[in-house]
Amino acid sequence: MTEAHRIVFLDRDSVIAKVRKPSFAHEWTEYPATRAADAAPRLLDARATIAITNKVPLRADDLARLPDLKMIAVAATGTDIVDLAACRERGIVVSNIRNYAVHTLPEHTFALILALRRQLVAYRADIEAGLWQKSERFCLFGHPVSDLAGSRLGLAGYGALGKSVAHIARAFGMEVVVFNRSPVTDDGVKQVSWDELLETSDVLSLHLPLNDKTRNIICAKELIRMKSSALLINTARGGLVDEVALADALRTGVIAGAGFDVLTKEPPPEDNVLLNLRLPNFILTPHSAWASSQAMQVLADQLIDNIEAWQAGKPDNVVG
């Protein structure tokens, strides 16, 4: 008789959705959250064959202590929390979640873009300060408002999320250009060089994974090359942008504004430069772009689908 798999979910509270149990025989253990230092001991104590993690890291030293571990199911798209090379060496299959946020993240991206282009934060502050109430006219001016129609949206990365953002952009009448390592053949989308993307985009939105090639892909020298009227949007990964350089660029008017949903370290320390940036042209949200109730349920369902596919000998969404 085949021994039941032992599944440990290290950070169950990170997925606010109904997570069904796999259809095959198994033992299930879950923790609301797990510190990095506690991940290996908890998996070892359970003699886990399958680990589920959203943001709890599993590094080479951890994996070396887990002889029973056969699969890591990442409850997210990004897999930088897992040492993929060490998994390959040990024959551990890693799966991730794909294309679950194709509506929620693009909608959040445009919420940031619209709020910045329409100066919602600045005008809200003016109203709270009593400026409209004291205005001699029926309306209050003071912050330049720009339409999206006719402007250029530059996308760095053109996977499922980038394509969904492009679809919305075209509905607003924006021209869409893309920097992508593989050829782009979609109608209505122009593929451009990195230089052209930086220098001509009115809005530059990042949709890239975080790896050694993309880390700090936007630094001071890239920000200087952007239009002074441009917006920078990052709903992808913290670490793609040099946060200190961005703060300086926003304070000095190198670019017009930025909307971020991610930071290099999450949750951020109190001294994070962007966390403490109090400017009307900067909006920071707490890594919530992915987290609509609909998207999280899709994620939860796909998470168990991945585990069941692997157990059936037909692994899906394998990484590395």
Which H or E run includes 132? none
Chain centre distance of CA 297: 17
Question: Which residue in this structure is represented by tokens 């890291």?
Answer: 57
Which of 5, 6, 117, 287 does the annotation list as catalytic?
Answer: 287
Our answer to whether residue 237 is catalytic in this structure is: yes
Cβ atoms < 10 Å from Cβ of 4: 12
| Whole-angstrom distance, CA of residue 3 vs CA of residue 23 | 15
How far is it, in rounded angstroms, from Cα 33 to Cα 55?
Answer: 9
Angle, helices 160-171/104-117, rounded to nearest 10 degrees: 50
Eight-class DSSP state of 82: B
* Residue 11, φ and ψ in degrees, nearest 5: -145, 65
Q: Which of 266, 270, 278, 308 is the catalytic position?
A: 266
CA 234, CA 211: separation in Å to the nearest integer? 15
CA separation, residue 178 to residues 164, 194, 195, 207 (Å): 13, 9, 11, 10
Give the residue ranges of DSSP H helices in the chain: 36-45, 60-64, 84-90, 104-117, 120-128, 160-171, 194-200, 220-225, 243-252, 293-311
Q: In what order do the strands lie in the sheet with 5-9?
A: 26-30, 5-9, 50-53, 71-74, 93-95
State how far the Cα of 11 lies from the Cα of 299, in Å rounded to an integer: 14
**What is the amino acid identity at position 51?**
A
Q: Given 117, 237, 251, 278, which residue is catalytic?
A: 237
Catalytic residue annotation: 237, 266, 287
